[in-house]
Structure formats: C-alpha cells, structure tokens
Amino acid sequence: MPAKGRCNHCHKHFDKRPQNPNQKYCLRSACQKARKRAWQKKKMQSDPQYRENQRDAGRRWRENNPDYQREYRERNQEYTERNRIQQRVRNQRRAKQSAQDSIVKMDASYSNNRISPGRYELRRVIHGEIVKMDASMVEINVISSGYENPL
C-alpha cells in the first residue's frame, strides 16, 4: 500500500510515489507549478550564481525582444488601462504614506526601532519610481551589544 501524503499546495491527500518518499506535492498541474515556484524562490535566495544567471537570461531575452512590452500593451489595451489606474492609486497611497512618515515624533523610542539581525532585501527607492530588478540581498549582523543608536 503506497504511503499517504498531504499536498503542500492544495492540501488534499495523495498517494506518494515509491520513488520519492519525501514527496510534498501531489501530481496536479497547479500543485507542480507551485512546487517549482517554491523551489525557484528558495534557489534565488540561496544561490547567487543562479540568481545572476536568471538576471542575465532575462536581460538577453529583453535585448532579443525589444518591442515586446509595447506590442503587449497594444494587444491588451483593457488590461493596460486597468493597470494604469491601479498604478495611480498605488502612487497616491505611497505619497500619502510618505507624507505621514515624514512627521517627526518627539517621543519616539529608538529602542523599539532597532533592526534585528538577519537577511534583508535592499532596494534603491527614488520618489515616485518603482524599482524591480536592481535589488540586492544584504545581511545585517550585530557588531556590539552596547552600541546605541545616536539618532
């Protein structure tokens, strides 16, 4: 009798294949796509060479298909207009949040604002501009436990 498992994506029970006793996803197409996405996300986070290869492959594809975005927008005008409207809403929300964040709080506690050690994604932000591909992974470590934030 085959071992039973519960799919990490659809959460349905399935029979594990004997060749793969650690199987976590069932054989449904959507679940296999989810498995691949999860693998690729983990690989992008843990393997700098893979991440660089993916970035280079995307760059080469864009160089070989320079008119793709313009042609896509022409073929999908309803989607394009909907996206423009949603982007305006996001920009307005971001501007409103930015204005709220710029208010100085006299009773702010710096001890609550410490950044915990760990891995973070670092992105350059220019007011009103969205950055997608030029993000870097940084690791933050504690240098000294007695250091206080001078701000």
Cβ atoms 38, 25 nearer than 8 A: no
Which among 110, 118, 112 has a CA at the least distance from the CA of 142? 118
pTM of the predicted model, to two decimals?
A: 0.50
Cβ burial of 78 (10 Å; 0-12, 13-18, 19+) is: exposed
11 falls in which pLDDT band (50, 70, 90)? very high
Cβ atoms 10, 31 nearer than 8 A: yes
Q: Is pLDDT above 80 for 99? A: no
User: What pLDDT does 150 receive?
Assistant: 55
DSSP secondary structure letter of residue 112:
G
145 falls in which pLDDT band (50, 70, 90)? low
